[in-house]
Homo-oligomer: A and B are copies of this chain.
Amino acid sequence: MDQSVMEALSGRVGVKCGRWNPTAEQVKVLTELFRAGLRTPSTEQIQRISTHLSAFGKVESKNVFYWFQNHKARERHHHKKRRRCASSPDSGSTDDESRAAAREADADLVLQPPESKREARCYNHHRLMTCYVRDVVETDAMWERPTREVETLELFPLKSYGLEMDKVRYVRGGSGEHCREITFFDVAAGRDPPLELTLCSFGL
Binding site for B on A (CB under 8 A): 16-18, 24-25, 28-29, 31-43, 45-46, 48-49, 52-56, 58, 60-62, 65, 71, 73-75, 77-83, 88, 90, 92, 94, 96, 100, 103-104, 106-109, 111-112, 117-118, 120, 123, 125, 127-137, 139-140, 142-146, 149-174, 176, 178-204
Contacts and interface: CB of A to CB of B under 8 A. Distances in A.
17 contacts: A17-B92, A32-B196, A36-B187, A37-B165, A41-B184, A81-B152, A82-B153, A107-B162, A109-B163, A129-B179, A132-B180, A133-B171, A134-B169, A143-B197, A155-B181, A156-B184, A158-B180
Contacts of A106: 195
A165 B158 CA distance: 15
A131 B204 contact: yes
A111 to B, nearest CB: 7
Given A150-B120, A164-B140, A170-B125, A188 B29 contact: yes
B170 A143 contact: yes
A104 B161 CA distance: 8
B173 A80 contact: no
Nearest to A87: B54
Contacts of A156: 73-74, 77-78, 181-184
Given A152-B120, A183-B45, A199 B94 contact: no
